[in-house]
Structure 1
Amino acid sequence: LNQNKPAFKCLTDRSDLVDVDGKNSKFVLCQRCDAKVLRPGIAVFTEKELFLPSMKKKSSLNTSEGSLDGDTLMTHWLVTDIFDFENVGITKDVGRIKYLICADCEIGPIGWHCLDDNTKFYVALERVNHA
């Protein structure tokens, strides 16, 4: 239960990941199975403080009762349309939040989506690979 003391994680050198328009210059891939999550030029780099539970298989994401292990992450790819993803799954509602997972291997969460705004899907840079 590490929610009181957020572990801020931030990638310091991202110049090779962000193009001149502030978008992802490389493919965004699943860390576990290398499935393509986003094509280059789709998502905008953004900084927003979001808490994501620890990486797990989809079956255990929905059942975390009370104790949430995870990280407060600051750097994300912002996607404004769910159809811009190449390969992403979405968990059942956890309150007003849905978590983004890899659709191939179901590991996650790699990202976060609030049901209050259908135009904001956040993919944490630290939860994905780039190639």
Structure 2
Amino acid sequence: MSEISHQSLPPGALEALQRPSNNGNRFTIRKLSDFDQGVLAVVRSQDTDPGALTHKFDLLCPRSGCGSIILKAGVGQWVESASVELDLTKEPLHPDLPALPTPPATVQWWLVTPSMMEFENIGFTRPVRQDVAAKSLKLLICAECDLGPLGWCEEGGSEFWLACSRVGYR
């Protein structure tokens, strides 16, 4: 195969490929804490199952200046479940990532099933093991800017958990 030279690319093509996919973040990223009613302001009932709640907004990377779409509206199901220790490093959290309560306290999650193909844009860390008896987890991060962890999944699993407080809403 021949190598593609920069001269064969149309004018502006290289710059367009290097530009962030969100076109400079032309919209405001709202955090869960920005809504007066909290999670009640961002959920809606599913048409097929009125008891199941989904998110009525696209879920975004919460980092100011990124805003990559992680999940389209209505894909994740709202679940309140036990917290998971996601912050495994000693480094301070990024200001756009609120701390999660220590397990076994509960957290509000967006549960995404049955596969990672439901996501628009998500990245995964290498497997991490919290203790010898636990299964390995992969932490969910923004695929554009690597901000995270935004959530988690068990290695090889079919359930993906995004913390409601660690994603942006649009």
| Number of the residue aligned with 1:126 | 165
Pick aligned residue for 1:71 from 69, 84, 100: 100
Structure 1 alignment gaps of length 5 or more: 1-9, 55-60
Bigger Rg, structure 1 or 2: 2
Amino acid at match of 2:57: K
Q: Please state how far the C-alpha of 1:88 moved relative to its aligned partner.
A: 0.3
| Number of the residue aligned with 2:56 | 25
| Number of the residue aligned with 1:35 | 68
Question: Which protein is richer in helix relative to its size?
Answer: 2
| Number of the residue aligned with 2:128 | 94
Query: In structure 2, how many angstroms separate the alpha carbons of the residues matched to 1:71 and 1:13?
Result: 15
Query: In structure 2, how many angstroms separate the alpha carbons of the residues matched to 1:99 and 1:44?
Result: 19
| Number of the residue aligned with 2:4 | none
Q: Please state how far the C-alpha of 1:20 moved relative to its aligned partner.
A: 1.2
Is the 8 Å Cα contact of residues 52 and 112 (structure 1) preserved in structure 2?
no
Q: TM-score, normalised by structure 1?
A: 0.75
Is the 8 Å Cα contact of residues 100 and 113 (structure 1) preserved in structure 2?
yes
Query: In structure 1, how many angstroms separate the alpha carbons of the residues matched to 2:78 and 2:168?
Result: 15
| Number of the residue aligned with 1:110 | 150
Pick aligned residue for 1:48 from 69, 76, 81: 81
Is the 8 Å Cα contact of residues 52 and 109 (structure 1) preserved in structure 2?
no
C-alpha RMSD over aligned residues = 2.3
| Number of the residue aligned with 2:14 | none
Instruction: Give the secondary-structure state (helix, strand or coil) at the position aligned to 1:105.
Output: coil
Q: For 1:63-97, what per-residue CA distance to the aligned partner results, in whole angstroms no more than 9, with x for missing partners?
A: x3xx5875236001000120000000000000211
Question: Which protein is richer in strand relative to its size?
Answer: 1
Q: TM-score, normalised by structure 2?
A: 0.59
Structure with bigger RCO (C-alpha 8 Å, 6+ apart):
1
